[in-house]
Chain A
Amino acid sequence: MADLSNLAGLVSEPSGEIDSSVSSVSNRSLRLAEKEKRKGVADPFGLAVKYLSQVEAGTVVRGNDELERNMVRVETVALSKGLPPEVITMLLDLALSLNAGTANCTRVLKFLLPATVVPQEAIVKGVSWLCVGKMPMNAQVLFVRWVLTVFDLIDCKDDLRSIYGFIFSFVTEENLFPFICHLLYLLTMWEHVHSYRVRKLLDIQAKMGRQPFLTQLLALYKVFRPDLVTLSLPSRARVKNWPSIPPLSSAFDSNSNKKVFRLQELRSFKELLENIHNIELPAQMGSLLGSALALHYLDCVQDESAFLRLNFWLGHSLQEEFLLCPVDGSSDNTSEACRFLSTILFTQQFLQEGFSSTESFLYKFLSVWDGCLLRPQILDLLSDIPLMPSFYMHKLLFEPLKQLYFTSTVFFKCSVIECLNSMLVKWLTWHSVSASEGGLDISLNSNSTITMTLSGFMDSVMELVRFVGLLASEGLRLENCHVLLLNQTLAFYETVCDMFLKYSLPLIIMPPAGVFYPALFATDSISVDRLGYIMFRYRKNLTLAKKQEQQREQTFHISRNTYKEFNRNLQAMVNSMWNSWWCIPGSDIEIDKDLIALSKVAEPWCRFDLIHHPALFSYAIEFHQRCWPERKNVDLGSIKTGKYWNWYMEFLFNQGFDGLNNFIQTNTGHGSSIFNVVAQ
């Protein structure tokens, strides 16, 4: 029996506090003595517990008022607040020992409500009382049901698992049988499943037929030891729910000698960490995708065969679903497929890597894809494609994508650019991570590692950027500079312009004219502002590159052409927006003056300055109205004079055009008309 001498103290705090508030002036030591004395008196619960703990075998129960009084006292507390662990242990022992009689046994079990946890030792002791076999059947049933009810509150289950055999022996008790099965189900671990237990349960099955509690226990046995027992649970409808993630289960040649931890036994991340060195892989690798904990483990797996199994399964599922079996068009099928692809996507995003089987599936699928079926999922998967040599990019990726791009709607075009942007970001991030790790070979498997030189990597990035440049310029032309497409394109160039500063990739690629000019002459202010930001970042990158080149002895070399190109774009932008003149010396896009004259536009050279630019025109009008509210004739030219110009600039930048602001601040000596090109 538990030592209960200090039990009363545990539950008597409140009375002590009341006491101190009353006698606040009295002598301290006297107060303590008083408190000590009054504790017992003021704590009827503590006394009741103490009394009950001392009830011995053979105590007269009938007519024992004192027992009844104490019982009621504990019962009241139990029903209102719950009982502390020690009291649970004591009361359970009292009840099951039948010291307080059979009636009190069931009574105690009914009010045995834990306040916090149930100590494991209480249950173990309870099971030993069960083994004594004195208890009446209804009390036995009540006890097991009570264990099931408080199971989640049992502090630790180790000892309980080690008396599994004792608990198992009760399966032959007809009345206890369902509840014992349930308890065993909660306790069973791999080491508990033995052929003699399987045989016992099968004997019962033969006698009693299909009982849900027995079937579930056997099903659990099968998960652990498919080599001993097999079972098929009837599914509601035998429909083809495919492709699907298989359930976690042991391989049937699972190593029975070694003490290993099985993934289906994992309950928490902590358990995973403690057992990570001896976890056994499941029968089907695909089942790892169905469990979040298993995915954590997948991230640490270094076994080539394991990944090969996973890729065979995944490749097969994708191939059978999308390439070999034609989709019959039923929406049900598509939603299944959609769920499957979403699971793969989730896994890849979790691992921050794509699977090679998804990759090769996509190369095959792109050539037969209509661009519609599961578009968001397919494009998301596509953006996970890892870096590859530029030679393959053309054949496997660009050719099919180009065909789809040019034959689809503007929204598809936007999605493609967005997808390629996200692909580029992933490649660049991967590069900056591996570069910061000092080129350390992270892959532990030399077989499956592609080694690529930095220049090879840059070739691939360059190819991708060039490809998007082509898609974007042609797409903008075809779609009449659609504003969504333009913004998606500019988002891509926001990634491109910062490759050196943000991802330390010594590569600077300028946008083609087919992207630059549509953005410069765009009718929406957001595009123009974005272009300003992009040009501002290009300048930062180029300046830093220049600086590094001069400081260190040629870390890398940016070609003169890049500077020339940047300067030409810069000149075009500053000239048209700031200086109201068009002539770009040495540019190949000079426009014949007579041709412009034919348009009969007055002062054509200032049509794209900060006042007349179609994207900013409305702001200029608004500014004009605010400055000269009484004027009938709008004369935008007056904005250019004196202090109004500076006010106008301030007004514009207050509209949130940070990109343009940065651009103008860095490229023009504040307010002057001189712009600085980057030295070549």
Chain B
Amino acid sequence: MEGRGSAVNTTASRPVTRRSKSYGRSCVEAPSYFWQTPGHLTVLKIPTSRGAARSQLITNKVDPEHIALLVKNEWKLSYVTPLHHFRHTQLKSYSKHLAAFIAAEKQQGVAVEVGLEVGFKVTFTAVLGLAETDEDAETVFIQIQSKPVFAAAADAPKVVWRGWLTCVNGDPEYLRSLPPDFVSLPLFCTSGPESLTTLVKSWFERAFDCNFGSLALNSTTLNWLAALWTGCHSTCNIRYLKLAWSLPSQPPLDVSYTVNPQDAWELWNSIHPEESTDDKIDIKEVQSFINGLETHFFRHFKIYLSAGTLVKVSTALGSAHLDGKLKIGNSDYITTLLTLLTESALLKMPT
């Protein structure tokens, strides 16, 4: 059907260079890590196995005051593309700029000088020690306090918003592939009014040419969390394993399923024995753990949970919701949790 040139001399083997002046990087060749996994294309390969959750005294590494800030709130999760020209040495100046920006946005049409504290006080803090690898950038915590104009001198400023940007065990290959003027802190957790979140996001977008998107977790991530947290029960009492399903029936059926922690652990231990030499947990083991729980439920209630969606997992160690809400219950397991969430955030990066 076709006659084609065979490579018989230099003309045919001369390399042809794909002109790529206006491409950041190609998405079909290294170093872009463009993977096709069933259903979607992502920057990274989705791992099928990971290490078991290990407890570590995080307060040995990180300032306990900082850790306390992360533990007590419920966080709404977002992903953010790499920050351009973000410098951990400039946090003070960022505080001033963000405060002025918020003040200007709050009173539309009135210009605000950068550096004057009017109405809002913003504090950027580096949470040192949370990073696990050399490629991870240090976590940045942001706090917004409001200072009402007519407040009495003795009134302490009220914290109205908190948020932090983090990267724990981020894919080293991806992080290394970024030029040095980028800082990747892909996971953004916020707590406070949505209007302030929007303002903070839009300030970041203008200042560091980055973009935010909401980070919904998928059932696979929740499955992983359920298994990883249950596995911790032998070293730290998880008190309960609460799972919530949503079933697409008419009307929709919400199922809340609380499992005795010891029972859950025994089920998990039968699938992945604690004393097993292999430290790695495979996705198949996680899947059979969840299947085991679902089968048990079916035996009692004749409802196939697998027909629905797992929407929430919670234990004393923390809770995570499908729509991207997170609570951290115990700081000693924070690394495992943040590793998993960093990975989810990196998977959202546009290629």
Interfacial residues, chain A to chain B (CB-CB below 8 A)? 195, 198-199, 201-202, 205, 210, 215, 218-219, 221-222, 226-234, 246, 249, 251-253, 283-286, 298-299, 302, 304-305, 307-320, 324, 351, 353, 355-357, 359-361, 363-364, 386-389, 392, 395-396, 430-431, 434-435, 439, 441-445, 447-458, 462, 465-466, 469, 506-510, 512, 554-559, 561-563, 565
Chain A proximity of B1: nearest CB distance (Å): 6
User: Cβ of B22 and Cβ of A355 under 8 Å apart?
Assistant: yes
Q: Which one, B17, B82, B108, contacts A452 given CB within 8 A? A: B17
Tell yes or no: B110 within 8 A of A by CB. Answer: yes
Chain B proximity of A626: nearest CB distance (Å): 44
Residue in B closest to A206 when the chains form the complex, CB atoms: B110
Tell yes or no: B4 within 8 A of A by CB. Answer: yes
A-B pairs, top 10 by smallest CB distance, nearest first, are: A315-B350, A562-B3, A556-B5, A311-B24, A234-B108, A509-B2, A558-B3, A360-B27, A218-B111, A316-B211
Chain B proximity of A180: nearest CB distance (Å): 17
User: Cβ of B2 and Cβ of A230 under 8 Å apart?
Assistant: no
Please report the C-alpha to C-alpha distance between residue A324 and residue B21 in the assembled complex, in whole angstroms.
29
Please report the C-alpha to C-alpha distance between residue A557 and residue B351 in the assembled complex, in whole angstroms.
40
User: Cβ of A351 and Cβ of B22 under 8 Å apart?
Assistant: yes
Q: Using Cβ atoms and an 8 Å threshold, which residues of chain A touch B240?
A: none
Please report the C-alpha to C-alpha distance between residue A554 and residue B8 in the assembled complex, in whole angstroms.
8
- The interface bits of chain B over 324-351 (1 if a CB of A lies within 8 angstroms of the residue's CB, else 0) are 0000000000000000000000001111
Q: Using Cβ atoms and an 8 Å threshold, which residues of chain A touch B5?
A: 454-455, 458, 506-507, 556-558
Q: Using Cβ atoms and an 8 Å threshold, which residues of chain A touch B8?
A: 554, 556-557
Q: Using Cβ atoms and an 8 Å threshold, which residues of chain A touch B210?
A: 312
Tell yes or no: B205 within 8 A of A by CB. Answer: yes
Q: Using Cβ atoms and an 8 Å threshold, which residues of chain A touch B131?
A: none
Chain B proximity of A458: nearest CB distance (Å): 6
Tell yes or no: B100 within 8 A of A by CB. Answer: yes
Interfacial residues, chain B to chain A (CB-CB below 8 A)? 1-9, 11-29, 31-32, 34, 36, 40-41, 81-82, 84-85, 90, 93, 97, 100-101, 103-105, 108-114, 178-179, 181-182, 205-207, 209-211, 213, 348-351
Residue in B closest to A512 when the chains form the complex, CB atoms: B1
Q: Using Cβ atoms and an 8 Å threshold, which residues of chain B touch A388?
A: 28
Chain A proximity of B16: nearest CB distance (Å): 5
Please report the C-alpha to C-alpha distance between residue A451 and residue B28 in the assembled complex, in whole angstroms.
12
Q: 25 A-B Cβ contacts within 8 A?
A: A226-B206, A233-B108, A249-B206, A308-B178, A319-B213, A355-B22, A392-B28, A445-B20, A449-B20, A450-B17, A450-B26, A452-B16, A453-B14, A454-B13, A454-B15, A454-B16, A455-B5, A458-B4, A507-B2, A507-B5, A508-B3, A510-B1, A556-B8, A556-B11, A559-B4
Q: Using Cβ atoms and an 8 Å threshold, which residues of chain B touch A310?
A: 24
Chain A proximity of B331: nearest CB distance (Å): 31
Q: Using Cβ atoms and an 8 Å threshold, which residues of chain A touch B101?
A: 230
- Which secondary structure dominates where chain B touches chain A? loop
Q: Using Cβ atoms and an 8 Å threshold, which residues of chain A touch B84?
A: 305, 309
Residue in A closest to B86 when the chains form the complex, CB atoms: A253
Given the known A-B contacts A231-B104, A308-B24, are A466 and B1 also in contact in the complex, defined by CB atoms under 8 Å?
Answer: yes
Chain A proximity of B158: nearest CB distance (Å): 23
Chain B proximity of A500: nearest CB distance (Å): 10
User: Cβ of A450 and Cβ of B29 under 8 Å apart?
Assistant: yes
Q: Which one, A233, A315, A364, contacts B109 given CB within 8 A? A: A233
Q: Using Cβ atoms and an 8 Å threshold, which residues of chain A touch B13?
A: 453-455
User: Cβ of A559 and Cβ of B3 under 8 Å apart?
Assistant: yes
Q: Using Cβ atoms and an 8 Å threshold, which residues of chain B touch A227?
A: 93, 97, 114
Q: Using Cβ atoms and an 8 Å threshold, which residues of chain A touch B27?
A: 356, 359-360, 363
Please report the C-alpha to C-alpha distance between residue A228 and residue B207 in the assembled complex, in whole angstroms.
13
Please report the C-alpha to C-alpha distance between residue A452 and residue B26 in the assembled complex, in whole angstroms.
13
Residue in B closest to A513 when the chains form the complex, CB atoms: B1
Q: Using Cβ atoms and an 8 Å threshold, which residues of chain A touch B209?
A: 251, 283-286, 309, 312-313
Q: Using Cβ atoms and an 8 Å threshold, which residues of chain A touch B213?
A: 316, 319-320, 324
Please report the C-alpha to C-alpha distance between residue A387 and residue B29 in the assembled complex, in whole angstroms.
12
Residue in A closest to B29 when the chains form the complex, CB atoms: A450
User: Can you name 10 extra interface pairs (CB under 8 A) apart from A222-B111, A229-B113?
Assistant: A205-B110, A312-B210, A315-B350, A355-B22, A360-B34, A361-B350, A447-B31, A454-B11, A556-B8, A557-B5
Q: Using Cβ atoms and an 8 Å threshold, which residues of chain B touch A283?
A: 206-207, 209
A-B contact count (CB 8 A): 281
Q: Which one, B18, B81, B82, contacts A386 given CB within 8 A? A: B18
Q: Using Cβ atoms and an 8 Å threshold, which residues of chain A touch B18?
A: 386-387, 443, 449-452
Residue in B closest to A210 when the chains form the complex, CB atoms: B109
User: Cβ of B104 and Cβ of A230 under 8 Å apart?
Assistant: yes
User: Cβ of B17 and Cβ of A451 under 8 Å apart?
Assistant: yes
Q: Which one, B16, B34, B36, contacts A456 given CB within 8 A? A: B16
Q: Which one, A305, A315, A466, contacts B181 given CB within 8 A? A: A305
Q: Using Cβ atoms and an 8 Å threshold, which residues of chain B touch A356?
A: 20, 23-27, 32, 351
Chain B proximity of A358: nearest CB distance (Å): 10
Given the known A-B contacts A311-B23, A312-B81, A351-B22, are A434 and B17 also in contact in the complex, defined by CB atoms under 8 Å?
Answer: yes
Please report the C-alpha to C-alpha distance between residue A469 and residue B2 in the assembled complex, in whole angstroms.
11
Given the known A-B contacts A199-B113, A562-B3, are A451 and B16 also in contact in the complex, defined by CB atoms under 8 Å?
Answer: yes
Q: Using Cβ atoms and an 8 Å threshold, which residues of chain A touch B105?
A: 232
Please report the C-alpha to C-alpha distance between residue A302 and residue B21 in the assembled complex, in whole angstroms.
7
Q: Using Cβ atoms and an 8 Å threshold, which residues of chain A touch B29?
A: 389, 450
Chain B proximity of A529: nearest CB distance (Å): 24
Q: Using Cβ atoms and an 8 Å threshold, which residues of chain B touch A392?
A: 28
User: Cβ of A431 and Cβ of B16 under 8 Å apart?
Assistant: yes
Please report the C-alpha to C-alpha distance between residue A299 and residue B22 in the assembled complex, in whole angstroms.
8
Q: Which one, B3, B23, B111, B206, contacts A448 given CB within 8 A? A: B23
Q: Which one, A396, A508, A554, A559, contacts B36 given CB within 8 A? A: A396
Residue in B closest to A496 when the chains form the complex, CB atoms: B2
User: Cβ of A462 and Cβ of B207 under 8 Å apart?
Assistant: no
User: Cβ of A228 and Cβ of B114 under 8 Å apart?
Assistant: yes
User: Cβ of A305 and Cβ of B113 under 8 Å apart?
Assistant: no
Please report the C-alpha to C-alpha distance between residue A434 and residue B16 in the assembled complex, in whole angstroms.
8
Of the listed residues A439, A448, A508, the one surrounded by the most CB atoms of chain B closer than 10 A to its CB is A448
Please report the C-alpha to C-alpha distance between residue A469 and residue B3 in the assembled complex, in whole angstroms.
15
Please report the C-alpha to C-alpha distance between residue A457 and residue B7 in the assembled complex, in whole angstroms.
12
Please report the C-alpha to C-alpha distance between residue A565 and residue B1 in the assembled complex, in whole angstroms.
7
Please report the C-alpha to C-alpha distance between residue A234 and residue B114 in the assembled complex, in whole angstroms.
19
Please report the C-alpha to C-alpha distance between residue A435 and residue B26 in the assembled complex, in whole angstroms.
21
Please report the C-alpha to C-alpha distance between residue A311 and residue B93 in the assembled complex, in whole angstroms.
28
Given the known A-B contacts A509-B1, A557-B6, A559-B4, are A434 and B22 also in contact in the complex, defined by CB atoms under 8 Å?
Answer: no
Q: Which one, A284, A319, A351, A445, contacts B350 given CB within 8 A? A: A319
